[in-house]
């Protein structure tokens, strides 16, 4: 499958990796939108969060728990977790990922 994040998770494309375990990989975003901008990605390919099923419930939880560990390691007390689902919401890579953003004030609503 020709998927950028599958290749990054497999180590076939370089990334600045900050975390990994048996099911999750996390690396710095190539075009950061905040001083800390990490993408938390499942090793398993799921194209978008709306494609996740009951069988992915634990995996989705793992993404969030990994993000919390990374935030702590990065020294973030306040941070934002974002999943863009679909082009209209800003999704550009169709392999589910959680954005961890921090290190600057965050406004609401997001753009
Ligand atoms: P999204 O727009 O929610 O699908 O997020 C995709 C993110 O992947 C964007 O923030 C991009 O900057 C980031 N990105 C694209 N290519 C790479 C790459 N090779 N390494 C790290 N981040 C990337």
pLDDT tens-digit series, residues 48-60: 999 999 999 999 9
Active-site residue list: 97
Range 62-74 average pLDDT: 98
Could you report the per-residue pLDDT of 9-48, keeping only the tens digit for each? Answer: 999 999 999 999 999 999 999 999 999 999 999 999 999 9
Phi, psi of 40, deg, nearest 5: -110, 120
**So what's the pLDDT on residue 1?**
77
**Residue 107 Cβ contacting ligand 1 at under 6 Å:** no
**So what's the pLDDT on residue 111?**
81
- pTM assigned to the model: 0.98
Query: Which of 50, 107, 106 is closest to 79 using CA atoms?
Result: 106
Is the bond preceding residue 59 a cis peptide, omega within 30 degrees? no
Which of 7, 9, 10, 39 has most ligand 1 atoms within 8 Å of CB, for mutation? 39
Taking the C-alpha atoms of residue 44 and residue 59, their distance in angstroms, rounded to an integer, is: 9
């Amino acid at each position: 499958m020709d998927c950028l994040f599958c290749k990054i998770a497999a180590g076939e494309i370089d990334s600045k990796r900050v975390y990994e375990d048996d099911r999750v990989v996390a690396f710095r975003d190539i075009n950061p939108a905040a001083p800390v901008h990490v993408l938390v990605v499942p090793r398993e390919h799921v194209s978008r969060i709306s494609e996740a099923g009951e069988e992915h419930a634990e995996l989705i939880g793992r993404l969030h728990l990994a993000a919390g560990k990374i935030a702590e390691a990065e020294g973030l007390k306040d941070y934002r977790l974002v999943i863009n689902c679909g082009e209209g919401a800003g999704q550009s890579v169709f392999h589910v990922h959680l954005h961890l953003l921090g290190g600057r004030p965050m406004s609401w609503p997001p753009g």
